[in-house]
A and B are shown apart, each in its own frame.
Chain A
């Protein structure tokens, strides 16, 4: 339970991108500080939780939704995207084709989920596997800068789940954007900022309920 003087926020973050780009590895690194070269392909969606002590007064819980990279999940992603307030789109710097698909993921995201005011949710682009030789546009930072600006990303980072490069920083940037949005929304709606985005479960009543009658 949070201390009485601490604010607690719960945010749902999506991690999307082409198959094999390293989405699962990034999440495992971020949440468990661990890397393995062989995670099994994600089927459907995997779920992870990261708790951040943001500052003295603020605890942030990030629900990370690791969405399978195969595009056929098209229609089902709508269910997964629901209520997300931020996203990472991941591509693999060693395979240019995974970058070519980034825009498609961004459009899919913006079409399926928006902030309450109708704006798109903050999205950070991750150029993953930066510890390895790059292919195509990944070699040209200026081009990616341009691309990120043009397509309304919050920013981008070269990352390596293997060598633990920039993942924490990317998450910080995304959370910062989410918090800013939260303030804007709160001012607009006269909602106090200390109120969590989602109601955290306070359902103690399950305790008193009988689990099984037999």
Chain B
């Protein structure tokens, strides 16, 4: 295990490098029957060893639980997980940290909409104020729409509108749902209002893909379990429900993007910086892979820009993006930093295939078309577990990562 990337294992005993680690480290719950599955909050040390076991089992394809985890083996059923979420969500005063801990390793479909509203900071922790806040925020959104979208747009806004208008019909082109006029109009309003309320960035290509997980989750709230989205005609939903889906998607998107605003400002500086951080990180974690990419002239910007800009939505199927959103939202404000490690884990996941490619063409074609179409929640679980492990092992090195701006 220790030689996975040619480096010693992570320093498990080292103190948490930052808030992020502290916020999630006591809550390792891997939701998969094949693996050990502690049904309780566990200590940081246990959590980390559980994470390492997950990764190790995955890499070696030995699915029997190892000796250190056998004792912890608890088969948490979906229903008990839902019960746990419901217990939390129904408290008068929600403990957000607890919700984050629970949500980090995946949220069951039934409780996801409310869990996301709370994690995004759209809903307050106090249960009695929730309905009132919801109604107020939804009304606010529709006031914006009336004020900016339904009226004649001035020239600056017109340019934003045109770009959105061109991009909307071509998002998720293979899903019929997104070809429906009503759905496209909903996205158009969400993106337009967001763009004009964030003049430092405006509309940036790719943000439409970031609306999609919210949209689908809030849509499913109104559909019978198991409804096939491909067969859904959204006009069959009452307008009041469509308006809620739209307003909630907007509000959660806004909160969600607040943490990564620098990704979308002029020149996308946040992303450029993260791409450099990714490069530094891979160089430290896996020199072979890094040198292999360099040797064949592959620049990290060429493939990881999209990973960062779209938060991997273009690289994995929609259902996996939704599962990934559980963890991103549970990371709260720190998810921008965490996403770097998710990208690193994602790249390292393909290292064997990449090392077999022998020229620039082969590498780029692979990096831009990674075979994830069969990925499930489980793969995302492994991915974020690995990202977490990398974060624990490598985040505690300010000279290399966050300190790249400071003097070397």
Q: Which residues of B contact A38 (CB under 8 A)?
A: 169-170, 173, 179
Interface residues on B, range: 35 or more
Evaluate whether A39 and B173 lie within 8 angstroms (CB atoms) in the complex, with A47-B365, A72-B267, A201-B359 already known.
Answer: yes
State A47–B368 Cα separation when bound (angstroms).
Answer: 8
When chains A and B are docked, how far (Å) is the Cα of A80 from the Cα of B364?
13
Beta-carbon contact of B365 and A39 below 8 Å: no
- With A72-B204, A201-B296, A211-B356 in contact, is A43–B163 under 8 Å at CB? no
Distance between B145 CB and nearest chain A CB, rounded to angstroms = 23
- Beyond A72-B204, A203-B295, is A40–B314 a contact (Cβ under 8 Å)? yes
Q: How far is the CB of A45 from chain B (nearest CB, A)?
A: 6
Helix, strand, loop or mixed for chain A's interface? Answer: loop
Question: Within 8 Å CB of A61, what residues of B?
Answer: 361
Q: Which of B305, B359, B360 contacts A44 (CB 8 A)?
A: B305
Asked if B310 lies at the interface with its beta carbon under 8 angstroms from chain A, I say yes
Question: Which residues from B are CB-within-8-Å of A201?
Answer: 296, 358-360
Residues of B271-316 at the interface with A, using a CB-CB cut-off of 8 Å, are 272, 288, 292, 295-296, 299, 301-302, 305-306, 309-310, 314
- Cβ proximity bits A43-77 to B, threshold 8 Å, 1 near / 0 not: 11111110000000000010100001110111110
A38 and B172 alpha carbons, distance in the complex (Å): 9
Are A39 and B301 in touch, CB under 8 angstroms?
Answer: no
A residues in contact (CB < 8 Å) with B: 19-20, 36, 38-49, 61, 63, 68-70, 72-76, 79-80, 97, 200-201, 203-204, 206-207, 209, 211-214
Residues of B at the A interface (CB closer than 8 Å) are 1, 3-4, 6, 162-163, 166-167, 169-173, 179, 204-206, 208, 266-268, 272, 288, 292, 295-296, 299, 301-302, 305-306, 309-310, 314, 351-352, 355-356, 358-361, 364-365, 368
Q: 16 more A-B contacts (CB under 8 A) besides A72-B268, A73-B268? A: A19-B163, A20-B167, A40-B171, A43-B206, A43-B306, A44-B309, A47-B364, A68-B205, A69-B205, A76-B267, A79-B299, A97-B162, A206-B356, A207-B358, A211-B288, A213-B6
